[in-house]
Structure 1
Amino acid sequence: MLLNLAGFISFLITVSECKTSQSDRHNVRKFPEGFMFGTSTAAYQVEGGWDADGKTENIWDHMTHADPCLIADCSNGDVAGDSYHQYKRDVEMMRELGIDFYRFSISWSRILPTSFPDKINEAGAQHYSDFIDEMLKYNIEPMVTLYHWDLPQRLQDLGGWANPHIADWFADYARVVYRLYGDRVKYWITINEPKAVCYQGYGSDTKAPRVNVKGVGEYLCAKNLMLAHAKAYHIYDQEFRPKYNGSIFISLSAQYFEPETDKEIEAADISNEFEWSAWAHPIFSETGDFPKVFKERIAAKSAEQGFFRSRLPEFTPEEVEFVKGTSDFFGLNHYSTYLVYKNDSEVGRYEIPSFNDDRGNIHYQPDHWEHGASDFLKVVPWGFYKLLTKIRKDYNNPVVIITENGYSNHGGLDDDDRIAYQRKYQSAMLDAIDEGSNIAGYSVWSLMDNFEWMQGYTERFGLYEVDYESPERTRTPRKSAFVYKHTVRTRALDWHYDPGTTVMTIDERH
Structure 2
Amino acid sequence: MKFLYRFVIFTLFVVSSFGDGDDDDVGYEVTNKTFPKGFLFGVATAAYQIEGGWDEDGKGEQIWDMWIHSNPKIVADGSTGDVASDSYHKYKEDVACMTEVGVHYYRFSIAWARILPNGRTNKVNKAGVDYYLNLLKELKANGIEAMVTLYHWDLPTALHDIGGWTNPEIVGLFAEYAQLCYELFGDYVKTWVTINEPKQICHGGYGGSGYAPGINSEGLGEYLCARYVLLAHAKAWHIYDTEFRSKQNGRITIVIDSDWFEPTTDSAEDKEAAETKIQFVFGMYANPVFIGDWPQVMIDRVADRSLKEGFDQTRLPPFSSEEVADIRGTYDFLAINHYTSYMVSAAAEPNIDNPSWVKDAGGNVYQKDTWQQAAIGWFRIVPWGIGKLLKWIKATYGDLEIVITENGVSDRNGTLEDDHRIRYLKLYMSHLLDAMYEDNINITGYTLWSIIDNFEWTQGFNGKLGIYYVNMSDPERPRVPKKSSKYYANVIKTLCLQDSCE
Do both proteins adopt the same fold according to a TM-score greater than 0.5, normalized to the shorter chain?
yes
Q: Which runs of 5+ in 1 are unaligned?
A: 1-22, 498-510
Cα distance between partner residues in 1 of 2:30 and 2:198:
36
Change in Cα spacing, 1:386 to 1:26, as seen in structure 2 (3 Å) is closer
What amino acid sits opposite 2:173 in the alignment? W
Cα distance between partner residues in 2 of 1:231 and 1:312:
21
Change in Cα spacing, 1:134 to 1:261, as seen in structure 2 (3 Å) is same
Deviation for aligned residue 1:52: 0.6
1:406 — aligned with what?
A: 408
Deviation for aligned residue 1:342: 2.4
What amino acid sits opposite 2:132 in the alignment? Y
Percent identity (aligned): 48
1:265 — aligned with what?
A: 271
Q: Highest relative contact order (Cα 8 Å, sep 6+), 1 or 2?
A: 2
1:283 to 2:285 alignment: no
Change in Cα spacing, 1:258 to 1:36, as seen in structure 2 (3 Å) is same
1:486 — aligned with what?
A: 490
Task: Provide Cα deviations, 1:90-148, integer angstroms capped at 9, x if missing partner.
Answer: 00000000000000000000010121001110000000000000000011001000000
| Structure 1 contact 377–407 (Cα < 8 Å) conserved | no
1:169 — aligned with what?
A: 173
Change in Cα spacing, 1:128 to 1:302, as seen in structure 2 (3 Å) is same
| Structure 1 contact 69–75 (Cα < 8 Å) conserved | no
Cα distance between partner residues in 2 of 1:63 and 1:303:
34
1:500 — aligned with what?
A: none
2:197 — aligned with what?
A: 193
2:429 — aligned with what?
A: 426
| Structure 1 contact 448–466 (Cα < 8 Å) conserved | yes
Structure 1 runs (4+) greater than 6 angstroms displaced: none
Deviation for aligned residue 1:392: 1.1
SS of residue in 2 equivalent to 1:39: strand
2:134 counterpart (125, 130, 135): 130
What does residue range 56-455 of structure 1 map to in structure 2 within 5 Å?
A: 56-263=60-267, 264-285=270-291, 288-344=292-348, 347-348=350-351, 352-410=354-412, 411-434=414-437, 435-455=439-459
Deviation for aligned residue 1:343: 2.2
Deviation for aligned residue 1:495: 5.3
| Structure 1 contact 351–357 (Cα < 8 Å) conserved | no
RMSD: 1.5
Q: Which runs of 5+ in 2 are unaligned?
A: 1-26
SS of residue in 1 equivalent to 2:189: coil
Deviation for aligned residue 1:450: 1.1
SS of residue in 2 equivalent to 1:338: strand
Task: Provide Cα deviations, 1:141-182, integer angstroms capped at 9, x if missing partner.
Answer: 010000000000110010000001100010000011110011
SS of residue in 1 equivalent to 2:399: coil
| Structure 2 contact 31–433 (Cα < 8 Å) conserved | no
Cα distance between partner residues in 2 of 1:270 and 1:77:
36
Q: How many positions carry a matched residue from both structures?
A: 471
Deviation for aligned residue 1:35: 0.3
Task: Give the TM-score normalised by the residue count of structure 2.
Answer: 0.92
Task: Give the TM-score normalised by the residue count of structure 1.
Answer: 0.90
Deviation for aligned residue 1:380: 1.1
Cα distance between partner residues in 1 of 2:28 and 2:391:
22
Cα distance between partner residues in 2 of 1:177 and 1:115:
13
What amino acid sits opposite 1:232 in the alignment? A
What amino acid sits opposite 2:367 in the alignment? Q
SS of residue in 2 equivalent to 1:340: strand
Cα distance between partner residues in 1 of 2:69 and 2:30:
49
